[in-house]
Amino acid sequence: MGVFLKYAIIAAAAICFLACYFFIPDSSIKYGPNFLIENSNDSPLYIKSISSQEENLKGIPEPYYTNHTWPYHSAYGLELAVGKGFVKPYDLGEFDCGEMASFIQWRLKNYGFDAKICVSHNFQGIGGHAWVAVDIPYDNSAPKRYYIEPTASATGGFNYMIIRPSSGYARVYGNYDAIYNSIYDLAKKEPPSEYDWWTELNFTEMSNRK
């Protein structure tokens, strides 16, 4: 009887140990209402990443995209729209490719175009660059993609270069690292200070330009 009791106590102790090990919450794990994150080396970076994304989104004026009537969503209409309302010339470090691309995308999206921001972190081996892609619908066929080079400037102003699908440059501009449907998507991945055109131009004034 004594031997049986001894083994019974040992078995009970083992069960208690296993229960504690598997079912008592580990202090190295953070529990929250919508997430479970282990306290690994990556956790602070992951949490910081979420916080950084939220901070980036806070700087975007609201409402950012609005609807403006534009009668032509064709290649011709794109040329007319691109030539309308872009009022500040290239300014390195202040209003350069990033700001110009996000500004063009904003204007075109407000006009109802399917415009996106393209980003290359080493465009043609010369460094980071940004430009715009616009998908133009065609009857009974897939949309055709046009690109807009935002930094094709001229003395006393600037002109945007529209790259047609048939152009030899289309393949060059189709070689991007990332493409974003909106400024919100971009701000989650790219440094917003490179695309915040609204710090150089008056957002309300630009929004009221038809």
Q: How many domains does one find in the chain?
A: 2
Show the tokens assigned to 6: 């001894």
Q: In this predicted model, what pLDDT tens digit does every residue of 26-80 receive, in sequence order? A: 333 333 333 222 233 443 433 334 455 566 677 899 999 999 889 999 999 998 8
199-to-109, 123, 206 alpha-carbon distances in Å:
19, 25, 12
Whether 102 and 159 map to the same domain: the answer is yes
Residue 161: which domain range? 66-208
- pLDDT the model gives residue 6: 42
Q: Is the pTM of this model over 0.95?
A: no
Whether 38 and 74 map to the same domain: the answer is no
Whether 125 and 166 map to the same domain: the answer is yes
Whether 77 and 24 map to the same domain: the answer is no
Whether 106 and 184 map to the same domain: the answer is yes
Amino acid at 79: E
101-to-27, 45, 150, 154 alpha-carbon distances in Å:
47, 29, 6, 17
Whether 95 and 144 map to the same domain: the answer is yes
Q: Could you say which of 57, 78, 103 is where a domain stops?
A: 57
Whether 125 and 157 map to the same domain: the answer is yes
Whether 30 and 132 map to the same domain: the answer is no
28-37, 109-118, 123-132: least confident range? 28-37
Pairing, β 114-120 against β 129-138? antiparallel
- CA count, 13 A, side-chain hemisphere, 161: 13
pLDDT tier, 206 (very low <50, low <70, confident <90, very high otherwise): confident
Whether 116 and 14 map to the same domain: the answer is no
- pLDDT the model gives residue 56: 62
Q: Which three-class secondary structure state does DSSP give residue 8?
A: helix
5-to-8, 9, 113, 140, 203 alpha-carbon distances in Å:
5, 6, 81, 84, 81
**How many angstroms separate the CA atoms of 114 and 86, rounded?**
18
Whether 123 and 191 map to the same domain: the answer is yes
With a cut of 90, say whether residue 22 has pLDDT above it: no
- pLDDT the model gives residue 161: 83
Residue entry with tokens 């993609």: 145
Whether 86 and 156 map to the same domain: the answer is yes
Closest of 175, 191, 173, 171 to residue 183, by C-alpha? 191
Whether 47 and 81 map to the same domain: the answer is no
More confident residue, 14 or 204: 204
Q: In this predicted model, what pLDDT tens digit does every residue of 131-184 receive, in sequence order? A: 999 999 888 788 999 999 988 764 344 457 899 999 999 999 999 999 999 999
Mean pLDDT of 93-117: 93
135-to-80, 105, 108, 117, 188 alpha-carbon distances in Å:
16, 12, 11, 12, 23
